[in-house]
Structure 1
Amino acid sequence: MKIKLLVSTLAAAALSACGGGSDSQSSAPATPTTKIAGTAAVGAALANATVQAKCASGSGSATTAADGTFTIDIPNAKRPCVLSVSTPDGTTLHSVVEAGSGTTATANITPLTELITASIAGKSTEEFFASFDEQAQAKLTTDGVSTALDNVKLILTGTIDLGGIDPLKDTLVAAHGNTPGNALDQKLDTLGETLKASQTSIADLSSAVASNTGSASGVQTILQPASATCAAFRSGKVQKVDLTGNTVQRFTVDAVKLTRTNDSTSAVEQFQANDSQACRFGNDNARMLVSKSGIALERRAGASSLVIPDQTIPLSELAGDWNALAFERDDNSPYYGTGLVKFRMDSTGKFTSGADCSLSSCDQWPAAELPSAATNADGGFNISDPSGTARAFAFKGVDGQLAIVIVHGAGFMLATRPKAFALPAVGSVSSYWDATLNASGVTNIEDGSHTVTAVDTAANTYTRQNTTGRIDTWQNGVPSVGLRYRAPATGINEAVSMNLANSGISVAVSVNPSNVFYNISVGRP
């Protein structure tokens, strides 16, 4: 009897667990919801703004409160996620949530999180948000986000101290009404003030962060205070390299006051902005023309110098292949000649190959004459071979591209990576300052502009006409990648040209030794 009773009890329990008889209804499992909460701010709270979130699976949106706070509920979400919000001036900011299994996450969305997102994306943050495919999602690991945060902290060194701060997850109280912002919000105020003084937008800074890897100098340069008449002319240390005098001087520039102080002598030189041309400065002794990158061409007493923002670039970033256009003279000659040089460096600064080239061939340098580069304590590098030592200065642009200026007792060369460039569009107009050095090293500067009148994609050529009516045609990729060639014609000198990375400067050299010139063209804003 006891056994029968026990069996009956177990059977009843089993039926109860199954919901009873055949006419019972089973309940649906609960749907997990992921909550992403944070604050949207630019210093002041972003009130009544729409925050959108995309996850590996699932998406959602929410409207911010008056204090910028928001919570987005996303059913069945799978992390990682990326967020976006638009500011009143039309700027779009982004933020991220790393991969993980939790159903709650904090993601503030501010200019600082925009920079972190840019560092992770390595491309346009808007494109990163729009696609957010598996490749993008794979970058949002805990380590990936941590590395990006460290990169942004490095870039902002000397501008904003983010030590011990996580802009993504730390509590953010944004200023609104009579409520002041907390310490993190004040960092946003500092960033905003820095961007205003440097005439740099958060979109431009985000693009620079996305494009730059390795050393931070290329991005840090654009965060310095800028001149009122030229956003590219910024305060900070510069190296003035006399191209034919083989002298290098270090200065401190105050772009707001338009002064330049010699670091060795403490002598101060005052410049004035040109009334009719932006980014042109001068005084009774010199004319200075500033490119979009901040590298300037200076002419003083007929001689040319390049004024290069001082950057700290590690030797390892110079590894790889380079094209260079040279302007050099023999030891016993007062006259300069032009040359095309190709070289390769390893990560320690050793030149592993080098060659002097013509349009059709190259003569390799003997192994015993290959130079080596070493860091110079006063900035830049020393490049040494059995014949002596040259000074070299690398410059990294906001897009991460590098250029090198090398100067020695017998002349100089400008070098850049052998990168193919696209044909310009028909009708595009370029304005420039042209500085042309003759065989004696004397410089003449002219203003000009040209319009592209024809493009031949099959021949990889473009034809342009300048303001004097002169027409010339250039062929890209000749004699090699990263260079372009102009054939001789009536009134046209045969030449080879290249862009100095994306600095806003191009250089061209004559091919005919009986008509020597070295042209440095600075794009005008």
Structure 2
Amino acid sequence: MPTSIHSTALRLAALPAAAALFILTACGGGGGDSPAPVAPPVAASLTLTGSAATGAALGLAAVSIKCVGASGTGTTAADGTFNVAITGASLPCVLSVTGGTTTLRSVAEAGTGTNAVANITPLSELIVARLAGGDAAALFTTFDAAAQAKLTAAGLGDARSAITAALKGVIDLTGVDPIKAPLVAASGGKEGNALDKQLDALGAALKSAGTTLPDLAAAVVANDKAPAGAQTLLKPAAATCAGLRSGNYRALNPRAATLALAATRVTLDVKALTYTAAGTPAKALKDEGACQFSMDAGASRLYVAKSGLAVLAAPDARQVLRAIVLVPEQDVPLAAVEGNWNVMFYGHESQDIATSGVGTSVHTINAKGEVTAGADCLGLAACVPWIPRPAADNWVADANGGYANGEGARLFPFVGANGQVVWFGIEVDAAGTGLIAVASRQQALALPTVGQVDKFWDASMTFAGLTAPVDTQMTVKTVDTTAQSYTRERAVDARVDGFTINQPRNGLRYRAAGSSQTPTGVKRFGANLVMPLPGMGFTVNGSADGSDSFGISITQP
């Protein structure tokens, strides 16, 4: 609601001269040595205008505004517009509008003006979330000196750029400031203007993707260096499986005869529910529940993680079941791959043995894609460093997608909605022998909580083929914070496994040989290394001694 203070001087200025003289005389203005009264200073007034909309106008909605020095309230008109004057206020300001169950925020940047425009929309909500580092509501609620310091022209420019990049392919905000640009919202049967139609398009994309505005805001904030995670979150999702989204994927198959076949592009269409490999007819997918889909009359099955990573269990030409890893295609800059990595790989070249096997290594990659350090590892033993070979090891952009190194290997980074980056590598030599690699950053894992229940599809690859994925449920039974270890029990047979986290390196779990027990007390299995991809619902594991056993687990929804 507009507020203002009119001084005595202003009131006098509006009166006829005779009336003014009468008032001055009555106040002692007719003579004598008494000084004339001094009018109080006129308090400054800041006026904020704009439109509140989600595509449709947010009419008759409550507007709250906090500025430096003062706050104010108002109500939008039926067309979503508002005009609030606040006495004693100065920029910057934060704004909030609530209409029904919808609450959105916006900002007016720091400055010296007495008028500011600040539209309040889902786009402004994303910008505020980016400025706040995650919590738009908290920035409005606190609005302390730290919050105010973020509301600069430069800060808003960075936030707009991040939002523009994240929404690429959905709406084009190039050169548009959604907070200040003219916004005419649809109302009363009238169409909105161009910016309002952008809001409609964003709303339609969120609905098709099964994604909420808060989820998108969190993804935008988490994906500061690579907007691909937020972009993937906006792709259309299957009605029964949020992880399965329309788009292009890379199907990584280390058993393929050539490198081109080992990294085939496939397209998924969740509306038609089809799977199409490059150069082949589309295949129908049948929903089997719990993010499992079958095709080829049930001979092949697709298991989808919440992140969009997936595994296809499909027979090869000899009808041997094989695992093909599906990685959503994303435009991820090499700079996002900078850091220290745990790498687990499986294939013929592992451990220099004649048959398939598991290998582990560590890599350090800089922002240019250059491998600056590396070492080969086996179990708990110290890793053996090797000297990077720039011509062979460094990654460069590949015209066919992803990245490639001098040895002909391909690398496909993937960014989750949580901002975590992982990468997958594939290599097939001239003889048709190859390997697949999975990499996750060397960052500390956290212990689970007692009673935590995890359901997943569990499969194991060997040279002889892939075991059909098994529906598995595990419950955490004990946690030892001192030893950084825990045990979990498998539902189907009450087998108990013990793990130590961040062994032998951060980001890995270690299961000692003989640490798995059945109800009869029989200890089973050799030593095992496990590498979860944080927040991805995708985990790989392998024998610590490098033997022929590579497991993949896909967490069920």
Q: Would you call these one fold, judging by a TM-score over 0.5?
A: yes
Residue 321 in structure 1 maps to residue 346 in structure 2: no
Q: Which residue of 1 aligns with 2:230?
A: 219
Aligned-partner residue type, residue 44 of structure 2? P
1:129-278 alignment to 2 at 5 Å?
A: 129-245=140-256, 247-263=262-278, 265-274=279-288, 276-278=289-291
Q: Percent identity?
A: 38
Choose the corresponding residue for 1:280, options 274, 281, 293.
293
Does the aligned pair in 1 maintain the 2:95–2:120 contact within 8 Å?
yes
**Length, aligned pairs only:** 502
362, 378, 388: which is aligned to 2:383? 362
Map 1:429-468 → 2, pairs under 5 A: 429-468=453-492
Aligned to 1:239, the other structure's residue is in SS state strand
Contact 2:253 / 2:436 at 8 angstroms: preserved in 1? no
Distance 1:86 1:244 in 2: 56
Which residue is equivalent to 1:12? none
Alignment of 1:421 with 2:445, yes or no, is yes
Task: Look up the match of 2:307.
Answer: 293
Please say if residues 459 and 475 of structure 1, whose CA atoms lie closer than 8 Å, have aligned partners that are also in contact.
yes
Q: Which amino acid aligns with 2:556?
A: R
Q: Distance in 2 between matches of 1:459 and 1:59?
A: 53
Distance 1:448 1:326 in 2: 24
Equivalent residue runs for 1:113-124 within 5 Å: 113-124=124-135
Measured after TM superposition, the shift of residue 74 of structure 1 is 3.1
Do 1:349 and 1:372's aligned partners in 2 also have CA atoms closer than 8 Å?
yes
Change (3 A) 1:76 1:474: farther
What code does the residue aligned with 2:376 have? D
Amino acid at match of 2:57: A
SS in 2 for 1:251: strand
Select 1:396's aligned residue among 388, 411, 415.
Answer: 415
Q: Deviation at 1:458? A: 2.4
Cα-to-partner distance string for 1:295-338 (whole Å, 9 max, x where unaligned)? 11111111111111111112222121111112233488552222
Tell me the distance in 2 between the aligned counterparts of 1:84 and 1:504. Answer: 36
* Alpha-carbon distance, 1:47 to partner: 2.3
Indicate the residue corresponding to 2:359 in structure 1: 339
Distance 1:335 1:79, change over 3 A: same
The amino acid of 2:550's aligned partner reads Y
Query: 8 Å contact 1:52–1:62 — kept in the other structure?
Result: yes
Provide the residue aligned with 1:474 in structure 2.
499
Counterpart position of 2:371: 351
Cα deviation code 1:28-58 (max 9, x no counterpart): 2222122222111111111232222233443
Deviations 1:381-402 (A, max 9, x none): 1123xxx321111001112211
Alpha-carbon distance between aligned partners in 2 of 1:241 and 1:87, rounded to the nearest angstrom: 48
Deviations 1:435-460 (A, max 9, x none): 21135453431111112222222222
Deviation at 1:83, TM superposition (A): 2.0
**Residues 81-132 of structure 1: per-residue CA shift (max 9 Å, x gap):** 22223453x4532211111111211111111111222232332222333333
Which segment drifts farther, 338-347 or 61-70?
A: 61-70
2:76 aligns with: 64
**Structure 2 partner of 1:5:** none
Letter in 1 for 2:195: L
Q: Do the aligned partners of 2:335 and 2:369 also contact (CA within 8 Å) in 1?
A: yes
Matched with 2:551 is: 519
- What TM-score, normalized by structure 2, do the two folds share? 0.84
Q: Which residue of 2 aligns with 1:406?
A: 425
Give the C-alpha shift of residue 281 in structure 1. Answer: 4.0
Letter in 1 for 2:362: K
CA-based RMSD: 2.4
**Residue 430 of structure 1 contacts residue 523 of structure 1 at CA under 8 Å; is this kept in 2?**
yes
Q: Does 1:484 align with 2:504?
A: no
Q: Quick check: 103-112 or 173-182, which moved more?
A: 173-182
Alignment gaps of 5+ in structure 2: 1-27, 316-320, 429-433, 516-522
Change (3 A) 1:281 1:192: farther
Taking a change above 3 Å as real, the CA distance of residues 86 and 472 of structure 1, as seen in their structure-2 partners, is farther
Q: Is the 8 A contact 1:435 1:519 kept in 2?
A: yes
Q: What amino acid maps onto 1:160 in structure 2?
A: I
Letter in 2 for 1:416: S
* Equivalent residue number for residue 43 of structure 1: 55
What residue in structure 2 maps to residue 504 of structure 1? 537
For 2:361 and 2:487, how far apart are their aligned partners in 1?
26
Kept in 2: contact 1:334–1:440 (CA 8 A): no
Cα deviation 1:236-274 (Å, max 9, x = unaligned): 1111111443611012221110112233x1422221111
Task: Tell me by how many angstroms 1:164 deviates.
Answer: 4.0
User: Which segment is superposed worse, 391-400 or 79-88?
Assistant: 79-88
The AA in structure 2 aligned to 1:344 is T
User: Taking structure 1 as the reference length, what is the TM-score of the superposition?
Assistant: 0.89
Alignment deviations for residues 341-386 of structure 1 (CA, whole Å, 9 cap, x no partner): 11001122110001112314110013448611111111111123xx
For 1:397 and 1:279, locate their aligned partners in 2 and report how far apart those are by CA, in whole Å.
Answer: 20
Q: Report deviation, 1:72.
A: 3.3
The aligned amino acid for 1:462 is Y
